[in-house]
Amino acid sequence: MREGQIHKSILMLVLVLAVAGCAGVQEPAKPDRDVKGTPAIAADKPRPQSEEPPKIHVVRSRFEAGPSDGELTLIFDVSPVPEALPSVRWLGATPRDDARTLAVRSDQTGRYSAVLADVPPVADGRVLIELSDPGNGSFDIHSAEFALREHVADRPSSRPSRDGRFVVFTKPEGVSPVLRLLIGSSEQPVGDLPPGVTSGAVVGVYSLDFLPASDAADGWQLTMAVTATDVKPALFYLAKGEAVWRVLDSTTLEGHSLLGAGFAGPGTYMLVREVTR
């Protein structure tokens, strides 16, 4: 599909859904708190100037269907490998709700997983990944989010990520009426980045999976929020189970801080700033 056709198709769909009151296109939600990759140093021991600054870890994560119904699995890689086993907490729906501390398994060096149990069929949530290095007193907090959305089987609709910055515009036909969409968001994607892309150039990472597994939907579209500081944004896609990223044809929607593209199927969608290839 040509760029102009993508722009027209997405814009018309956004407008139609907005008029129908089901678009779900909204201002991106403000984070619950500013925790993304925020380092903190133990206050009880001032660090001598001769010591090296605390490590800043890179966390790459994604959500997958869990081993049983009503479960999700969080998979995450940490580099450099922390000295202590990471702590993972699933935050409650409101600040007054208690967070659940999840059991963390070390699958291999730097690779971890945690299972979220008793997840409702339609839900969203946020987990905190807490990393500590007792040797230098550093403490990093990272986060990941998920949203489980029902497929709307009787009309065109939209299925947003938890933060509202990634939206899939769906059509009712071609997939199971009981389909659910698992949309995850993370700081960095699991696995290698595309050539020429650095972690600092990554603006947003969203993974999408069908529950239960289904063929790719035909004619669906998606949008991802951009800002004025996202110079020459590019949208990359990594198909589920694949290892090679590709660039999707995308266009900035005039009058909207959105980048639009055709939906490519289950996998990972990554927005990056200007890259060198």
Q: Which residue has the higher pLDDT, 159 or 35?
A: 159
| Rounded-to-integer distance, Cα 133 and Cα 135, Å | 5
DSSP H/E element including 273? none
Domains observed in the chain: 1-30+151-277 (2.60.220), 32-40+55-142 (2.60.40)
DSSP bridge pairs for 168: 159, 222
185's tokens: 């968001």
164's tokens: 């509202």
Segment 78-135, tens digit of pLDDT: 999 998 999 999 998 887 788 999 999 998 889 999 999 999 999 999 999 999 888 7
Segment 236-269, tens digit of pLDDT: 999 999 999 999 999 988 888 999 999 999 999 9
| Rounded-to-integer distance, Cα 113 and Cα 221, Å | 31
CA 124 from chain center: how many Å?
Answer: 12
Residue in 128, 132, 113 with CA at minimum distance from that of residue 57: 132
Mean pLDDT of the region 162-178: 94
Contacts of 222 (CB under 8 A, 6+ apart): 166, 167, 168, 169, 260, 261, 262, 263, 269
| Rounded-to-integer distance, Cα 140 and Cα 138, Å | 7
